[in-house]
Structure 1
Amino acid sequence: MTQPQVTYDDVVAARKVLADVLVHTPVVHSRALSEIVGGPVHLKCENLQRAGSFKVRGAYVRIARLTAEERARGVVAASAGNHAQGVALSAGLLGAKATVYMPEGAPLPKVAATRAYGADVVFAGQTVDAGLDAARKHAEQTGAIFIHPFDHPDVIAGQGTVGLEILDQVPDAGTIVVPVGGGGLAAGVALAVKSLRPGVRIVGVQAERAAAYPASLAAGHPLTVEPASTMADGIAVGRPGDLTFDLIHYLVDNVMTVTEEEISRALLLVLERSKQVVEPAGVAGVAALLAHPHAFEPPVVGVLSGGNIDPLLLAKVLRHGLAAAGRYLAFRIRLSDRPGALATLLARLADLGANVLDVVHERVDSRLHLDEAEVLVHLETKGPGHCDEVLGALRRDGYKLFFG
């Protein structure tokens, strides 16, 4: 490994900078995950950090280490939301003007929070990478200091303080699981933890639809991918950072991917069982635990990296998670277009113990015969077995079912 531009001593120094500014976030034990994994699982709740995520750690350290003259020129950043809020809050605390470039369509609560912390928000492109380009141009034109979301020694050192806290809170940790976008958090945590406990495994997790690291690690250098649409917008980064890639390449034991279904199931479990409101990117590590429970040596610590989720998205993701967990069922069903047919169906569903959430009745459609109607039904069920029981009973009753 080449001489790193960020060291363990930098992480220790960053911890001192942050000591009186940020929350020492709690670690909570998850009985549900412990039963699934077969050993103790704990969750590091960075969703409870100021500004709602770990990002404020690196942003504050970076801005705090600027000279007074540099802070007077202002700072500029690009982010889908969490780094934006971290920079906005940190700049306000340190007396610097902040401008943040965000993707068009960024979650409205993140936009509103960034503005509420005092930053000017400018929309640029559809991705974080487009915003990064715009932010760099802004810095060149105005003299503002560009605050990179992950690829800077001060930022990595700040994020590494999460690792120091984990070792204080769970000194016997065997594996630490970290969401990965650009890699600042994973790189910092790996640097801090491996410096003190080389035997602790560090596992990074990316959304399958925005996974630049697996291919980059295989190639031995950062590659650019085009992130597809993913609910985990906070880790949808098209290219690893140069510094973060180097640290992750040598210090992180494995980087794996998770699907949208696995992310939604994880969000539902964390909300129901641990009572933590977390954004999709923030539960990527938990999603990996659910998908591959025997791949992690306990005690395991999963980092819940952020909790800034749009309530509208939360409702959609929870429904997605319920469906993935077999507790939500949607299908279309053909009925005879006669009085009482719908009432008979609903009574049958009640007999089967299914809770009807929504019904849409369609009579006029080219696919239907004159004596037919079609109903779109949304049900709450008790699990996969109950779904099979409901569908099987309806088919035996002679109903025609359609999906998709």
Structure 2
Amino acid sequence: MVSQELDYFRAIIQANMEPLAKVTDVSEMTNLTERLGNRVWLKREDQQPVYSFKLRGAYNKLTKLAKGSVVITASAGNHAQGVALSASFLGHQATIVMPVTTPEIKVNAVRALGGEVVLHGHHFDAAKAYALALTEQRNGVFVPPFDDADVIVGQGTVARELMQQLNELDAVFIPVGGGGLLAGMAVYIKSLRPDIKVIAVEADESACLKAALDAGKPVELERVGSFADGVAVKIIGSETFRLAQKFCDEVVTVSGDEICAAMQDIFVATRAIAEPSGALATAGLKKWSQQSGLKGLNLAAILSGANLNFDRLRYVAERTALGEKNEALLAVTIAEQKGSFKQFCASLGGRAITEFNYRYAGPGEAQIFVGIALRQGQQELDELTLDLTQNGYQFCDLSDNELAKLHVRYMVGGKAPEQLHERLLRFEFPEYPGALARFLDTLGSNWNITLFHYRNHGGSTGNVLAGFAIEANEYEMFNEHLNRLGYSVQDETNNPCFTQFLTHQPEKQLGDKVANQ
């Protein structure tokens, strides 16, 4: 081990987190232990005073400064609270720049901890640029959220505690955003016990470490998702990447639905309500264990935070069944005649229907959107699709279709009464008071809106599904307008949900477009 890594190891050993950061518990998740055939442990960083491991890095960084220092950072989440509390405790002056889109609950939490909050910009990059300018103006010290040696050392104390608490460990699963927690924990674990696997876990919509490993250097993602906002980082830190590249054994990526399912597992085991990024490592542990097929191991995951807006629980509950493969969403063609629904139910072999959406659209065949409860996950879904096929039904599995899960299952109405030159787009935009009105203003009035569905689930982004009547010769102009708006947008015009449930189709398409599953 070179001296640089040895310095990290020694610094982590010597770092004193008392009295502000506490030694957090390690809890066994008996529900997952029984299900996975491996002993599963959870390191409870949600027990910190700010409900997140971020306190460790901020506190370690600020203990190096002279009392009364001016400290500044940019954050919309847990790092902000860690800096605010550490500064207040140590007698520093803390200013935290947060995007104007930051939920009020987080703004109030930082203020309650003694930090001055400055709201600036509609996204993190603008807030960070302003924070760096303030640092120079006030002759202060900028506190990075992850790419800083002192911050990395502070986060590494999680590994120091974990290895003191558990004598037997085969693998540790660590969530990744900017990489500070992974870097600190990995260098400590591998310095002491190189036989223990260090496995990084990323949200598939913000996998900046995986992208960096593939490229051999940190690269900026074009966009990141917002559900696991605590790890929504476009580019991993340079120093955190160097350490991760050297000491991390594997990277696992997980979906939002898999994160939701892990949040439920954590709640069942501990009654703790993790935030999405806080449950990331548990989701990765489950996926790795199921895919590897290994049994009899001692596995630990980090519950990294529990700062969750209560409003988001509705969304989490909706997606958990899908994440656990306990529900399937199907588009099915049935005959438009009396008794066809009863006949369809009989073909399900006693399986429960969780929802059923149907709107009369004329004689002949009808398209239904149906949720079906599953008790044995993918195996039962395979059996269900075989049963439907044998009973002559044409269908499409929409369980992994984001348009179906986010919008279509909540919409009312039916198909357009006539054929339109229509494009369907799914937008994400920063959510704050008045954001929807601003979004509509920026769309302009050059094109007729034919469909509109808006959802917000307590997160930092709003979700809009919008249809536009556009002639083919207007596509170029319309695309230029979208590019100027700068919103995250996905074209869903060819999505089977749209073609089957929302737009006029003169000919039957489900059987043509989707082969029997």
* 1:163 pairs with one of 159, 166, 181: 159
Q: Using the TM superposition, give the Cα deviation of residue 203 of structure 1 relative to its aligned residue in structure 2, in angstroms.
A: 1.3
Question: What does 1:94-133 correspond to in 2, within 5 Å?
Answer: 94-125=90-121, 127-133=123-129
Distance 2:389 2:170 in 1: 49
Q: Using the TM superposition, give the Cα deviation of residue 141 of structure 1 relative to its aligned residue in structure 2, in angstroms.
A: 1.9
Distance 1:109 1:286 in 2: 26
* Greater length-normalized contact order (CA 8 Å, ≥ 6 residues apart): 1
Distance 1:146 1:374 in 2: 57
2:511 counterpart residue number = none
Q: What is the RMSD of the two structures over their aligned residues, measured on CA atoms?
A: 3.4
CA displacement 1:23-69 (0-9 Å, x = unmatched)? 21111112333345433221111122221110001111111221024
Name the stretch that deviates more: 280-289 or 2-11: 2-11
Distance 2:368 2:213 in 1: 49
CA displacement 1:89-124 (0-9 Å, x = unmatched)? 222222333222234433443333223223233344
1:281 counterpart residue number = 277
State the AA in 1 paired with 2:141.
I
2:44 counterpart residue number = 45
Distance 1:349 1:107 in 2: 47
Q: Which runs of 5+ in 1 are unaligned?
A: none
Name the stretch that deviates more: 159-168 or 114-123: 114-123
1:369 aligns to 2:369 (yes or no): no
2:220 counterpart residue number = 224
Question: Cα gap change, 1:211/1:10 in structure 2, threshold over 3 Å: closer, same or farther?
Answer: same
Q: Which runs of 5+ in 2 are unaligned?
A: 399-496, 498-517
Question: Cα gap change, 1:336/1:251 in structure 2, threshold over 3 Å: closer, same or farther?
Answer: closer
Give the secondary structure class of the aligned counterpart of 1:311.
coil
Distance 1:276 1:299 in 2: 22
CA displacement 1:339-387 (0-9 Å, x = unmatched)? x98997999899946365x676746xxxx11799987666666454777
1:354 aligns to 2:347 (yes or no): no
CA displacement 1:222-280 (0-9 Å, x = unmatched)? 22223321421111112222221222222222233222232222222222344331111
State the AA in 2 paired with 1:152.
D
State the AA in 2 paired with 1:31.
T
2:325 counterpart residue number = 326
1:302 counterpart residue number = 301
Q: Using the TM superposition, give the Cα deviation of residue 173 of structure 1 relative to its aligned residue in structure 2, in angstroms.
A: 1.3
Distance 1:135 1:169 in 2: 39
1:13 counterpart residue number = 14
Question: Cα gap change, 1:349/1:77 in structure 2, threshold over 3 Å: closer, same or farther?
Answer: farther
* 1:82 pairs with one of 70, 78, 82: 78
CA displacement 1:279-334 (0-9 Å, x = unmatched)? 11122222222222127783111111111122222221221121232334556778
Question: Cα gap change, 1:50/1:155 in structure 2, threshold over 3 Å: closer, same or farther?
Answer: same
Question: Cα gap change, 1:371/1:274 in structure 2, threshold over 3 Å: closer, same or farther?
Answer: same
Distance 2:273 2:25 in 1: 14
What fraction of aligned residue pairs are identical, expressed as a percent?
33
Larger Rg: 2
Distance 1:242 1:272 in 2: 37
User: Contact 1:101–1:124 (CA<8 Å) still a contact in 2?
Assistant: yes
Distance 1:85 1:349 in 2: 54
Question: What does 1:99-248 correspond to in 2, within 5 Å?
Answer: 99-125=95-121, 127-248=123-244
Distance 1:210 1:126 in 2: 19
User: Contact 2:68–2:93 (CA<8 Å) still a contact in 1?
Assistant: no
Equivalences, count: 393
Q: Using the TM superposition, give the Cα deviation of residue 83 of structure 1 relative to its aligned residue in structure 2, in angstroms.
A: 0.7
User: Contact 1:266–1:286 (CA<8 Å) still a contact in 2?
Assistant: yes
Name the stretch that deviates more: 207-216 or 181-190: 207-216
CA displacement 1:156-195 (0-9 Å, x = unmatched)? 1111110111011112212111001111111111222223
Give the secondary structure class of the aligned counterpart of 2:183.
helix
State the AA in 2 paired with 1:51.
V
State the AA in 2 paired with 1:12.
I
State the AA in 1 paired with 2:63.
A
Distance 1:203 1:361 in 2: 45
State the AA in 2 paired with 1:258.
V
Question: Cα gap change, 1:387/1:272 in structure 2, threshold over 3 Å: closer, same or farther?
Answer: farther
* Alignment TM-score, normalising by the size of structure 2: 0.66
1:254 counterpart residue number = 250
Q: Using the TM superposition, give the Cα deviation of residue 2 of structure 1 relative to its aligned residue in structure 2, in angstroms.
A: 7.2
Distance 2:359 2:252 in 1: 44
User: Contact 2:175–2:302 (CA<8 Å) still a contact in 1?
Assistant: yes
